[in-house]
Amino acid sequence: MGRLLVVGQTVGGVTLTGRVTTYVAVAAAALILAVELDVFTPVRMTHTFAVLFVVVTTVATAGLWAEARWLSDTLLGTQVLLDGRPEHVIEEALMWDFVAATVAGVVAGVCFEHYFRRFANETPRYPIDTTGNGDD
């Protein structure tokens, strides 16, 4: 829904496209995953690692999506990525996809860090086994 509202809109001289809004959604999913891991599992992330986790997860998803489009074109004969454009144009579009994914990941990571610095308290949210024997 958000993608439909912003496609083609210009903000600060930058035209928003489907790829920007798509990677914002992917970064939001990576952000949710990072929060879930940090809050509801024994995994603890430093603020810096959490930001890097969100960025890397977002860019990795962009890479997997590019690979899926290429495989679809080569194995199934679709024209999602290889649609008759010159090779350098396709490569440039892919690089802009990665730039959009990186920017979206950084923005989501910074939001994550801002939230935890501001709202997260240091008290545990689940019982911690301090005996070390693993019995709950």
Map 68-86 to HEC letters.
Answer: HHHHHHHHHCCCCCCCCCC
Going by their DSSP bridges, the two strands 14-15 and 10-11 should be labelled as antiparallel
Domain boundaries, the chain: 2-7+16-118
Burial 36-56 (b: 16+ CB within 10 A, else e): eebeeeeeebeeeebbebbbe
pTM: 0.70
Summarize pLDDT for 12-64 with one digit per residue, the tens.
555 556 677 788 888 889 888 888 888 888 888 887 888 898 899 999 999 99
Evaluate if residue 84 carries a pLDDT over 90: no
Residue 109 in contact with residue 50, Cβ under 8 Å? yes
Q: Is the pLDDT of residue 135 over 80?
A: no
| d(C-alpha 18, C-alpha 107), whole Å | 17
- The more confident residue out of 60 and 107 is 60
